[in-house]
Amino acid sequence: MFKLGIDDAGRGPVIGPMVLAGCLIDEKTEKEFKKLGVTDSKKLTTKRRDFLVEKIKAQAETFEIIIIPPIEIDGESVVGESRIKLNELEAIATAKIINRINKGYKKLKVIVDCPSISIIKWQDFLKTKIKNLSNLEISCEHKADKNHISVSAASIIAKDIREREMTKIKKIYGDEIGSGYTSDLLTQKFLEKFAEKHQDKGIFRKTWITWKNAYKKIGQRKLF
């Protein structure tokens, strides 16, 4: 049976896109990936991840990637509608990956690292966006990237693409932008300086409280 693992990278940062990846493998490849040490991308060094991502792309049956930019996360691309929630946005992207890959397989096991606290509710919403459910066995789980090789492989691809996207941003704005995560001191300092100046450049998630606070502080400094 083929297994399709799906995971995200960059869900929490205030800067840069969120990336979703799906990786389709069979049982033989799953065993090979296990021997190679394919695991949750958060447990890997950059050097090891760089090595594994090439192996994964070469040996997987197929893989799919979706990049969701900050403007879409903020909901500004949705015309005439209220801002879509991040969990729903991720479910829609997950369904797109499934729909692209689910062609010609008699049976396909889909394993998703669920981003929501409410697994059943999120899975039910996901199913409404999938075109063909008849051949699918869907499992949405917490910590799936640690417990399933196919999801681990997807997490490595997603993390690799997220880092590549951040490298593109750094070439424009400099390394002082940091990782983009709210806990990163470099990112915090970058926001303190440039939250207003670069607000329309499409790099910030302006619905994040971190950006809002930094923007507000800049305005207060100007007043006083």
Mean pLDDT per 10-residue section of the chain, whose length is 224 residues: 96 97 98 96 95 98 97 69 81 97 95 96 97 96 97 98 97 96 96 95 95 91 69
- The model's pTM: 0.94
Q: Among 145, 169, 193, give the residue marking a domain's end.
A: 169
Yes or no: say if 20 and 162 are a contact pair by the CB < 8 Å rule.
no
Yes or no: say if 138 and 27 are a contact pair by the CB < 8 Å rule.
no
Yes or no: say if 136 and 105 are a contact pair by the CB < 8 Å rule.
no
Does an H or E element contain 150, and which? helix 149-173
Yes or no: say if 166 and 152 are a contact pair by the CB < 8 Å rule.
no
User: Tokens in use for 162?
Assistant: 């997220």
- Residue 56's CATH number: 3.30.420.10
Specify whether 121 is located in the same domain as 202.
Answer: no
How much is the pLDDT for 111? 98
Q: Report how far Cα 153 is from the mean position of its chain's Cα atoms.
A: 13
Please enumerate in sequence order all residues whose Cβ is within 8 A of that of 196, keeping only pairs 6 or more positions apart, or say none. 215, 218, 219
How much is the pLDDT for 156? 98
Specify whether 179 is located in the same domain as 84.
Answer: no
Specify whether 156 is located in the same domain as 187.
Answer: no
Specify whether 83 is located in the same domain as 148.
Answer: yes
In the chain, alpha helices (H): 27-36, 46-59, 70-73, 86-101, 119-128, 144-147, 149-173, 185-194, 209-223
Number of domains comprising the chain: 2
Question: What is the C-alpha separation between 177 and 48, in angstroms, rounded?
Answer: 24
Range(s) of the domain holding residue 135:
2-169
Specify whether 89 is located in the same domain as 195.
Answer: no
Specify whether 180 is located in the same domain as 149.
Answer: no
- Residue 208's CATH number: 1.10.10
